[in-house]
Amino acid sequence: MQSISSQRPESTTYGLKKPKAAYFPQPGSKLYADKQLYENIASSDKKLVQTHWIKPRSAIAVEIPAKSVFRIRTPEGPQVGDLNIWNRHNPRERFWAARTRQLHSAHVSTLDRLWSNLPYLRPMVTIIGDTLNARHDEWGGRAHDTLGTRCDPYVEKLISGEDNDFHCHSNLTRAIMPHGLTEFDVHDVLNVFQVTGLNEYDQYFMETCPSDKDDYFECFAEQDLLVALSACPGGDLSQWDWGEDKENADSKGMLECCRPLAIEIYQLNDPETVLKDWKSPETPKYRGNHGLKQP
């Protein structure tokens, strides 16, 4: 499947040309993934080497070697996951949601890539499988969101006036502490399996997660990674609200819709053959020194 964002719109509507993607690559750019290479990776034989379960309303952080494949699953039904990624050897290099959104789209899918921050700006992973396939709903919402970010106790206090600890920001903070990182290392997430969009007033909205027990989101690790994943305390978002103790007439609130997530890590059985055309991603070799003059 071709990356959604790699299709340059040229059609017209009512005689007006539709706007082109602002970050469309020039000839020779490595912005987009090699379709054949990553389809070969996706279809190649693999060995499952580790499975990690994330309990409802918690998070874990795991190390994933370069040239591995990892799969995020919703094994017991719909559940949103908040994903953070770092270079395992240099946590200053980490996933950059805003640039990924510009380079690809606000909702990512197969053959899109998750990019790192400046001055590194290189792929951290390439998406090679997505059973939701950027599925959209009747309101135009789509899956795997880069528009929003993690829920956190600070915005909770701002909105509800309550001090609640069950948030993805807090989950991720606890998960990465054993790896020598802190709250300041938690960054804007990819909301995996989360359906979001912008309404007619350009306001952010969230819809109920559509995944089931067979759905997954699969990535090829372009670098040695530390990956942290939170099983959102909002569960599948069908009962989302501010204030931990709130209930409604139909359920016991958000606790009713919280389920586990799983991360599976695979090794390629024949990496030398499958990855013969793969190269470890490099940072752009900018040498302009930001216009500063040398003494």
More confident residue, 162 or 39: 39
Tell me the CA end-to-end span of the chain in Å, nearest whole number: 51
pLDDT at 8: 45
pLDDT at 12: 54
Tell whether 35 is covered by a domain. Answer: no
Q: Is the pLDDT of residue 40 over 80?
A: yes
What phi, psi does 160 have (nearest 5°)? Answer: -100, -15
Tell whether 145 is covered by a domain. Answer: yes
Q: Show the DSSP H helices in the chain as ranges.
A: 35-43, 97-103, 153-160, 168-176, 271-274
Domain that holds residue 215: 51-276
Tell whether 11 is covered by a domain. Answer: no
Tell whether 20 is covered by a domain. Answer: no
What phi, psi does 15 have (nearest 5°)? Answer: 80, -5
pLDDT band at 155 (very low <50, low <70, confident <90, very high): very high
- Name the pTM for this structure: 0.90
pLDDT band at 158 (very low <50, low <70, confident <90, very high): very high
- pLDDT-above-90 percentage for the chain: 74
Tell whether 45 is covered by a domain. Answer: no
Question: Distance between CA atoms of 70 and 266, rounded to whole angstroms?
Answer: 6
Least confident of 122-136, 200-214, 269-283: 122-136
pLDDT band at 252 (very low <50, low <70, confident <90, very high): low
Q: Is the pLDDT of residue 250 over 60?
A: no
Contact 193, 62 (CB under 8 A): no
Report helix, strand or coil for 206.
Answer: strand
Q: What is the pLDDT of residues 43-72, one digit of tens each?
A: 999 999 999 999 999 999 999 999 999 999
What phi, psi does 269 have (nearest 5°)? Answer: -70, -30
pLDDT at 134: 58
pLDDT at 190: 98
Region of residue 132 (left: phi > 0; alpha: psi -120 to 50; beta: else): alpha
Q: Is the peptide bond before 119 cis (omega within 30 degrees of 0)?
A: yes
Tell whether 286 is covered by a domain. Answer: no
Collect all residues with Cβ–Cβ distance below 8 Å to 50 and sequence separation of at least 6: 62, 263, 264, 265
279-287 contacts, C-beta under 8 A, 24 or more apart: 280/66, 280/222, 280/223, 281/30, 281/122, 281/123, 281/222, 281/223, 282/122, 283/119, 283/120, 283/121, 283/122, 284/121, 284/122, 286/119
Tell whether 15 is covered by a domain. Answer: no
Q: Is the pLDDT of residue 247 over 60?
A: no
Contact 22, 31 (CB under 8 A): no
Q: Show the DSSP H helices in 217-287 as ranges.
A: 271-274
Tell whether 214 is covered by a domain. Answer: yes
Average of per-residue pLDDT across 190-197 = 96
Considering its fold, how many domains does the chain have in total? Answer: 1
Least confident of 58-62, 137-141, 236-240, 256-260: 137-141
